[in-house]
Amino acid sequence: MIRAGVVGASGLAGGDLIRLITQHPDLELTFLGGSSNIGRRPAELHPGLRLDLGLTVQPVTEDIADLVDVVFLATPAPVSAELAALLADRVPAVVDLSGAFRIRTPELHDRWYPKVKRRTDLADRFVYGVPELIGDQLADAALISLPGCYATAITLGLAPLTLGLGLGLKTVVVDGKSGSSGGGLQLRTPDLHPLRNGAIAPYSPTGHRHAAEVGDFLDRAKSGTVGSLSMSAYGVSHVRGLLTSSYVFTDEPVDQRELQRAYVRFYKDHRFVRVRRHAETLIPVPDPQAVLGSNYCDVTVLRDEDQRAGGRIVVLAALDNLVKGAAGQAVQAVNLRFGLPEEAGLTMQPVMPA
């Protein structure tokens, strides 16, 4: 059994990490860390969890190296930056779910994360990316940084165009729609149920940093290019799951058949990405409700055939922001890191309808 610790145990991603680790055949939960709720049991913080987990939340010190083989950091970026420095070289594997180590280009990092001071030497050692796209680098990685929920969906949606077909993307406009769990459990008035329910909240109409993270990642890849890239993000009236719509204008025209084939081919060995035709089920897909609680990302690509659409390509990607967008993806990365089957502990099917 691989011994796993979760830091940030009180948060939503922390809760799902505990859920997934305790369901995992090869991982054992041996440490729960946090700065608040010290001494509390998981079921007090996450009422759904099993009542008999023996651990309580504890502060993080370098002594945890004796307790764990891997540490998941489900902490805010500034905390992750600190903890990574503390734990690197002490713990065999550190997996950071925050934005602290996502952007490689230093100026870009500083622009989008001005408050997150990280040691550059440490940053350069982090492997970053969606596991499907960086699988080979994970095998021996000691430090792993994972994209955020939106960036995961956007990247998985665009990768077959750039990395697969090698297309130049002249203009990409991303519209992201997320349930309220994406914002965590901070006490903020707009997130109270009376104000958040029924809302279509344009909380980030411009300047969402996940767009920058996607851009930085794709720019550093060898094939394809991305020109203008912008994003707007909206909170909609449910809790778990997000959908990203990437509206793409390419340098070269490409037809629906070619697109569909390219997507299927690109993901044929990746069971967590399901390429779905728009009309194959009793509801329109992709829809995040069809991946709820699972590690799937459902992707659909459509060429807009309308004469006036300017050759627009619509790429839709749906995932559970707390699983494939956070905890599940982190477990997936750890599976690859420790040579386990990629799907170990992640075979749960979506709970639908919910």
Residue whose C-alpha is closest to residue 150's, from 215, 60, 228, 86: 215
- Toward a copy of itself, which CB reaches closer, 96 or 298? 298
Report the nearest approach of a copy of itself to the CB of residue 246 (Å): 11
Burial class (CB in 10 A: 0-12, 13-18, 19+), 44: middle
Structure tokens at 260: 């569909």
Which part of the chain contacts a copy of itself (CB under 8 A), choosing from 78-86, 117-125, 139-147, 180-188?
180-188
Q: Give me the sheet containing 27-33, strands edge to edge.
A: 27-33, 2-7, 70-73, 93-96, 143-145, 127-128
- Toward a copy of itself, which CB reaches closer, 31 or 272? 272
- Given the residues 21, 29, 83, 149, the one annotated as active site: 149
Residue whose C-alpha is closest to residue 26's, from 339, 296, 323: 339
Q: What are phi and psi of 245, to 5 degrees?
A: -110, 115
Q: Return the residues of window 258-277 that contact a copy of itself according to CB under 8 A.
A: 274, 276
Alpha-carbon span 141 to 46, nearest angstrom: 31
Q: Which of 2, 316, 334, 346 binds a copy of itself (CB under 8 A)?
A: 316
- Toward a copy of itself, which CB reaches closer, 124 or 184? 184
CA-based diameter of the chain, in Å?
64
Is 297 a known active-site residue?
no
Q: Return the residues of window 88-117 that contact a copy of itself according to CB under 8 A.
A: none
189 binds a copy of itself (CB under 8 A): yes
- Toward a copy of itself, which CB reaches closer, 131 or 345? 345
Q: Return the residues of window 135-174 that contact a copy of itself according to CB under 8 A.
A: 171, 173
Number of residues in contact with a copy of itself under rule CB under 8 A? 103
- Toward a copy of itself, which CB reaches closer, 107 or 121? 107
Q: Return the residues of window 6-45 that contact a copy of itself according to CB under 8 A.
A: 12, 15, 19, 22-23, 43-45
Report the nearest approach of a copy of itself to the CB of residue 143 (Å): 27
To which H or E segment does residue 22 belong? helix 12-23
- Do 334 and 27 meet the contact criterion of CB atoms below 8 Å apart? yes
Q: Which of 95, 146, 290, 327 binds a copy of itself (CB under 8 A)?
A: 290
- Toward a copy of itself, which CB reaches closer, 1 or 192? 192
Q: Which of 192, 258, 265, 268 binds a copy of itself (CB under 8 A)?
A: 192
Q: Which of 66, 117, 228, 264 binds a copy of itself (CB under 8 A)?
A: 228
Whose tokens are 């992707």? That residue is 299
Report the nearest approach of a copy of itself to the CB of residue 181 (Å): 5
Alpha-carbon span 264 to 270, nearest angstrom: 10
55 binds a copy of itself (CB under 8 A): no
Q: Return the residues of window 325-354 that contact a copy of itself according to CB under 8 A.
A: 347-354
- Strand segments, DSSP code E, in 13-155 are 27-33, 70-73, 93-96, 127-128, 143-145
Alpha-carbon span 256 to 199, nearest angstrom: 34
How far from each other are the two terminal CA atoms of the chain, in whole angstroms? Answer: 33
- Toward a copy of itself, which CB reaches closer, 85 or 227? 227
Structure tokens at 284: 């329109």
Residue 77 vs residues 81, 109, 217, 263: alpha-carbon distances, Å: 6, 12, 18, 33
234 binds a copy of itself (CB under 8 A): yes
Which part of the chain contacts a copy of itself (CB under 8 A), choosing from 28-36, 157-165, 195-203, 257-265?
195-203
Q: Which of 203, 221, 225, 270 binds a copy of itself (CB under 8 A)?
A: 203
1 binds a copy of itself (CB under 8 A): no
Give per-residue burial for 273-286: e unless 16+ CB within 10 Å, then b.
bbbbeeeeeeeebb
319 binds a copy of itself (CB under 8 A): no
- Active-site residues, by number, are 149
